[in-house]
Structure 1
Amino acid sequence: MLKGSFVVMVTPMLENQELDIESFKNNLDWYIEEGAPGVCVCGGTGEFASLSKEERLLLAETAVTQAKGRIKCIVGTAAETTREAIFYTKHAEEIGADAVMIINPYYCRPTEDEIFEHYKAISDATNIPIMVYNNPAHSGVDLKPEMIARLSTIQNVKYVKDASGDLRRISDIKRLTNGSINIFCGGEDLIYENYLLGAVGWISVCANIIPKQAQELFTLVQDNNLDEAKTLFLKLFPLLDLLENGPKAIQSVKVSMELIGRKVGPARLPHLPLNETETDALKKVLMNVGII
Structure 2
Amino acid sequence: MSINWTGVFPAVTTKFTANDELDLATFDLNLSAQLEAGVNGIILGGSLGEASVLSDEEKFTLLSHTLAFVNGKVPVLLNIAEGTTKRAIEAAQKAASLGANGLMLLPSMRYNASAEETLSFFGAIAESTELPIMIYNNPVDYKIEVTLDMFEVLTQYPNIQAIKESTRDVSNVTRLINRFGDRFKIFTGVDPLAMESIVMGAHGWVAGLVDAFPRETVAIFNLIKENRIPEALTIYRWFLPVLELDIHPKLVQYIKLAEVATGIGTEAVRAPRLPLKGEERSRVLKIINDALAERPVLPVGSWGIKAEVEA
- Give TM-score, length-normalised by structure 2: 0.89
Amino acid corresponding to residue 198 of structure 1 in structure 2: G
Q: Which whole-Å CA distance do the structure 2 matches of 1:190 and 1:249 have between them? A: 16
Paired residues for 1:47-126 under 5 Å: 47-126=50-129
CA offsets 1:10-35 (integer angstroms, 9 cap, x no match) = 00001122211222223212211222
Cα root mean square deviation, aligned: 1.5
Question: 1:15·1:265 contact (CA, 8 Å) conserved in 2?
Answer: no
Distance 1:7 1:145, change over 3 A: same
Question: 1:145·1:169 contact (CA, 8 Å) conserved in 2?
Answer: no
CA offsets 1:153-195 (integer angstroms, 9 cap, x no match) = 3221000001110112111111222320010011011001100
Q: Which whole-Å CA distance do the structure 2 matches of 1:52 and 1:263 have between them? A: 21
Match of 2:269 among 242, 267, 270: 267
Q: Which whole-Å CA distance do the structure 2 matches of 1:287 and 1:247 have between them? A: 21
* Counterpart residue number, 2:282: 280
The sequence identity of aligned pairs, in percent, is: 27
CA offsets 1:240-265 (integer angstroms, 9 cap, x no match) = 11222x45110011111122222334
Paired residues for 1:146-161 under 5 Å: 146-161=149-164
Amino acid corresponding to residue 262 of structure 1 in structure 2: I
Q: Which whole-Å CA distance do the structure 2 matches of 1:220 and 1:120 have between them? A: 36
Q: Which whole-Å CA distance do the structure 2 matches of 1:57 and 1:160 have between them? A: 23
Amino acid corresponding to residue 269 of structure 2 in structure 1: A
Shifted more, 127-136 versus 251-260: the winner is: 251-260
Q: Which whole-Å CA distance do the structure 2 matches of 1:3 and 1:243 have between them? A: 21
Paired residues for 1:248-267 under 5 Å: 248-267=250-269
- Give TM-score, length-normalised by structure 1: 0.95
Greater RCO, 1 or 2 (C-alpha within 8 Å, sep 6+): 2
Q: Which whole-Å CA distance do the structure 1 matches of 2:106 and 2:80 have between them? A: 8
- SS of equivalent residue, structure 2 residue 103: strand
CA offsets 1:44-68 (integer angstroms, 9 cap, x no match) = 1000111111111111111111110
Ranges in structure 2 where 5+ consecutive residues have no aligned partner = 296-311
Match of 2:189 among 186, 189, 203: 186
Q: Which whole-Å CA distance do the structure 2 matches of 1:137 and 1:88 have between them? A: 25
Paired residues for 1:201-220 under 5 Å: 201-220=204-223
Count of matched residue positions in the alignment of Structure 1 and Structure 2: 291
- SS of equivalent residue, structure 1 residue 268: coil
Q: Which whole-Å CA distance do the structure 1 matches of 2:249 and 2:276 have between them? A: 9
2:38 matched to 1:35?
yes
- SS of equivalent residue, structure 2 residue 192: coil
Amino acid corresponding to residue 59 of structure 1 in structure 2: L
Ranges in structure 1 where 5+ consecutive residues have no aligned partner = none
Deviation at 1:275, TM superposition (A): 1.8
